[in-house]
């Protein structure tokens, strides 16, 4: 991952933490190994781990994955999701909320950070 992508992700993660009022700790893992994933990202509430597949993905798509999983982190923090509890993957309220809020966070961050190379950086190869 390029230095520019890392900088954008760091800035974005701090933005999302503030927007969602995430106060509990969590860890992140990025990976280029698609075999580790059944989708592009996941949140493990028991480990408080956010894992995101990053190889050959546009920065804006990586950011959306992080935002989505950080919403789940926030839902866990707020008692909406409990460790070990099954969450409906498609069509359930928890998942639909994560999708919608992630989109809103991307849009707001993009508007507030127009000088970042969010789109030109996304077409460069790692």
pLDDT values of the chain reduced to their tens digit, one per residue, 126 residues? 788 888 889 999 999 999 999 999 999 999 999 888 888 999 888 889 999 999 989 889 999 999 999 999 999 999 887 666 666 667 788 889 999 999 999 999 988 887 776 655 544 444
CA 32 – CA 103 distance, rounded (Å):
24
Domain membership of residue 45 as a residue range = 3-123
pTM for this predicted structure = 0.86
CATH number of the domain encompassing residue 85: 3.30.2010
Q: What is the DSSP string of 51-85?
A: EEE-TT--HHHHHHHHHHHHHHHHHHHTTSS-TT-
Domains held by the chain: number: 1
| Predicted pLDDT of residue 101 | 96
């Amino acid at each position: 991952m390029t230095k520019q992508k890392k900088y954008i992700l760091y800035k974005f993660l701090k933005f999302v933490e503030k927007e969602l009022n995430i106060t509990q700790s969590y860890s992140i893992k990025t990976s280029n190994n698609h075999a580790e994933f059944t989708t592009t990202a996941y949140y493990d509430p028991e480990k408080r781990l956010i894992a995101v597949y990053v190889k050959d993905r546009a920065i804006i798509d990586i950011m959306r994955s992080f935002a989505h999983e950080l919403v789940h982190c926030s839902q866990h923090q707020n008692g909406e999701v409990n460790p070990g509890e099954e969450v409906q993957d498609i069509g359930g309220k928890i998942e639909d909320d994560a999708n919608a809020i992630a989109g809103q966070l991307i849009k707001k961050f993009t508007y507030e950070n127009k000088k970042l190379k969010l789109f030109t950086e996304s077409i460069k190869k790692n």
